[in-house]
Chains A and B, each alone.
Chain A
Amino acid sequence: DAGVIQSPRHEVTEMGQEVTLRCKPISGHNSLFWYRQTMMRGLELLIYFNNNVPIDDSGMPEDRFSAKMPNASFSTLKIQPSEPRDSAVYFCASTLYRDRGEKLFFGSGTQLSVL
């Protein structure tokens, strides 16, 4: 099993540019989560999907952030336009959620730097 795969591993962009982060969850998992990690705010849950449907996006900081899950094996997190305060490590995680929670499997993260 390849685990959760995120790309790119590092992204450096200039303020105002569009950024797209990608995630491939573990095959067979039905829930996918996007987290953002910073020193100041820790691990923030941005949005999560169950069976490709967004369940709760209340953690998305602004309208500049959007996420999609067009199928069970792919999700994107887009920031448009990007700002320096968006600089963080973005993690994707997946799990097979049944009637109760199970453990999350995390990707290696995308280190985003917005200059």
Chain B
Amino acid sequence: SQQGEEDPQALSIQEGENATMNCSYKTSINNLQWYRQNSGRGLVHLILIRSNEREKHSGRLRVTLDTSKKSSSLLITASRAADTASYFCATEGGTYKYIFGTGTRLKVLA
């Protein structure tokens, strides 16, 4: 069964704007990760946040984690057309098992 659910399912913004995607999950986790998938390609890891962390930054990416609400958000600042892709959260609960959410399709208009 799916562990993570992303919302929104699709997001369309103008270049330069910020994009925020949310992920909710159901059970306890060791870490939560965000991945990006360009059309027709494999998934690429973006950022990992551990269960004892609340916020993490990497370049234009900012991830937050609220374990009490079982939710995470991914913020992409100053978006570019090249950020157009699908974004997935994945949770890992300590049993080698990585479960992916349903994904958010982001379209950045130039």
Q: Which residues in A have some Cβ–Cβ distance to B below 8 Å? A: 4, 31, 33, 35, 42-43, 45, 48, 50, 55-56, 91, 93, 97, 100-109
Contacts and interface: CB of A to CB of B under 8 A. Distances in A.
B44 A106 contact: yes
Contacts of A31: 96
A101 B96 CA distance: 7
Interface in B4-35: 30-31, 33, 35
Contact-size category for B? 20 to 34
Given A48-B97, A101-B94, 13 more contacts: A35-B100, A42-B2, A42-B101, A50-B96, A93-B43, A93-B98, A102-B48, A103-B45, A104-B90, A106-B35, A106-B42, A108-B41, A109-B42
Interface of B: 2, 30-31, 33, 35, 41-45, 48, 50, 88, 90, 92, 94-103
A48 B99 CA distance: 11
B12 to A, nearest CB: 19
A104 B32 CA distance: 12
A56 B96 CA distance: 9
B2 to A, nearest CB: 7
